[in-house]
């Protein structure tokens, strides 16, 4: 391994330190920001992600709220959970853990969330603000990747960035965020219909995996010294497998580690969106 590590755990520590000051300022006014989670069904990985979010809330002094929707309860029960959080003034931001089981319409439930409480930054209103380059909650996983570049002082102005994947959670919003004013990268998006992805990635200063398939990015696809980030992950049993093969670390200049990469920063951004929503409502 020659590459230096882009450590999400270190990045999130700095994000949470900053948040703690803002939370203290809110608490001085007798306001405690609250994050809500809605978990549909009983998928083990999803339940684990939700648990981690609540643990991090406790760590920084946020209140947290949770609603379980059983997998056989139907869309009406999910919409009722959304309504419950919309009308709870102690919940400043919340999310529906996704993917949701078959038989539920995630997009319909997402659109029913009060946009002022959109902790995940995935509500159509929030995505519209991203396109318009207006202030608003940003999707957490892409925002975590941008925070990582900021923390490590990596200037992407004019850099050739290739995002592999065009999904709604990661690749598509990330490409917009990187091309927007302030980051100013030259962004190319490739996906499953592009026959030779390596023709693009080999030219790139920065390659970002946003696929969710193990090792789709291999060393021969990467220019020596490039910055390589694995946003996409896959669980194989209890083992987490990134989009970027570990051997890419022998070629790249910077790389995210298999564990403690983008995951922790995603949680940090979720809390940041919640605190910002609370500040907007109350300060
Ligand atoms: P998605 O909708 O499943 O999108 C996956 C994208 O990958 C699609 O655009 C697909 O192309 C493309 N693709 C599939 N196989 C490919 C291949 N062999 N080569 C190139 N592109 C390929 O996913 P999403 O919702 O955006 O999320 C993507 C991943 O983000 C998830 O799978 C998950 O691993 C990860 N994620 C990570 C975190 C975290 O905290 N680290 C949080 C949330 C999500 P087509 O459009 O042509 O089908």
CATH number of 140-263: 3.40.50.720
pTM higher than the cut 0.95: yes
* Residue from 12, 145, 147, 170 whose mutation best tests the ligand 1 pocket (most atoms within 8 A of CB): 170
Q: What is the CA radius of gyration of the chain?
A: 19
* pLDDT at position 150 over 90: yes
* pLDDT at position 1 over 90: no
Q: What's the pLDDT score for residue 125? A: 98
For the Cβ of 231 lying below 6 angstroms from any atom of ligand 1, the answer is: yes
Nearest CA to ligand 1 atom 42: 141
Instruction: Say how far apart CA 193 and CA 52 lie, in whole Å.
Output: 35
Query: What does the domain layout of the chain look like in residue ranges?
Result: 30-114, 140-263
Q: For the residues 128-132, what does the mean pLDDT come to?
A: 98
Q: Which atom of ligand 1 is nearest to the CA of 193?
A: 47
Percent of the chain at pLDDT above 90?
98
For the Cβ of 126 lying below 6 angstroms from any atom of ligand 1, the answer is: no
| Paired tokens of 265 | 């920063």
Q: What is the DSSP string of 35-76?
A: EEEEEES--HHHHHHHHHHHHHHHHHT-EEEEEEE-TTS-HH
- From the list 150, 181, 184, the residue with the least C-alpha distance to 269 is 150
Q: Tell how far the Cα of 262 is from the centroid of ligand 1, in angstroms.
A: 14
For the Cβ of 192 lying below 6 angstroms from any atom of ligand 1, the answer is: yes
When pLDDT is cut at 50, 70 and 90, the band that residue 282 belongs to is: confident
> How does strand 93-96 pair with strand 34-40?
parallel
- Residue with tokens 């696929």, as numbered in its chain: 211
For 8-29, what is each residue's pLDDT tens digit? 999 999 999 999 999 999 999 9
228 class by beta-carbon count within 10 Å (0-12 exposed, 13-18 middle, 19+ buried): buried
Q: Tell how far the Cα of 231 is from the centroid of ligand 1, in angstroms.
A: 9
- Domain 30-114, architecture per CATH: 3-Layer(aba) Sandwich (3.40)
Q: Tell how far the Cα of 191 is from the centroid of ligand 1, in angstroms.
A: 9
Q: Tell how far the Cα of 172 is from the centroid of ligand 1, in angstroms.
A: 10
């Amino acid at each position: 391994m020659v590459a230096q590590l882009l450590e999400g755990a270190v990045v999130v520590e700095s994000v949470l330190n900053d948040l703690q000051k803002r939370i203290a300022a809110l608490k001085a006014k007798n306001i405690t920001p609250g994050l809500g989670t809605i978990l549909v069904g009983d998928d083990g990985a999803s339940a684990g992600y939700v648990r981690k979010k609540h643990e991090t809330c406790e760590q920084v002094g946020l209140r947290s709220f949770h609603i379980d929707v059983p997998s056989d309860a139907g869309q009406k029960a999910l919409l009722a959970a959304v309504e419950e959080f919309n009308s709870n003034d102690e919940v400043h931001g919340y999310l529906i853990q996704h993917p949701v089981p078959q038989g539920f319409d995630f997009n319909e439930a997402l659109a029913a969330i009060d946009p002022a409480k959109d902790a995940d930054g995935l509500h159509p209103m929030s995505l519209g603000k991203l396109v318009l380059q207006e202030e608003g909650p940003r999707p957490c996983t892409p925002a975590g990747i941008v925070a990582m570049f900021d923390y490590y002082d990596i200037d992407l102005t004019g850099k050739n960035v290739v995002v592999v994947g065009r999904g709604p959670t990661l690749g598509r919003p990330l490409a917009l965020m990187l091309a927007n004013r302030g980051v100013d990268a030259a962004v190319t998006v490739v996906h499953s219909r592009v026959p030779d992805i390596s023709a693009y990635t080999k030219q790139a200063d920065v390659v970002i995996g946003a696929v969710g398939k193990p090792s789709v990015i291999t060393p021969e696809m990467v220019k020596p010294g490039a910055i390589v980030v694995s946003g996409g992950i896959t669980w194989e049993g209890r083992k987490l497998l990134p989009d970027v093969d570990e051997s890419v670390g022998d070629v790249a200049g910077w790389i995210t580690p298999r564990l403690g990469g983008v995951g922790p920063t995603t949680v940090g951004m979720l809390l940041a969106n919640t605190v910002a929503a609370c500040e907007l409502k109350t300060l």
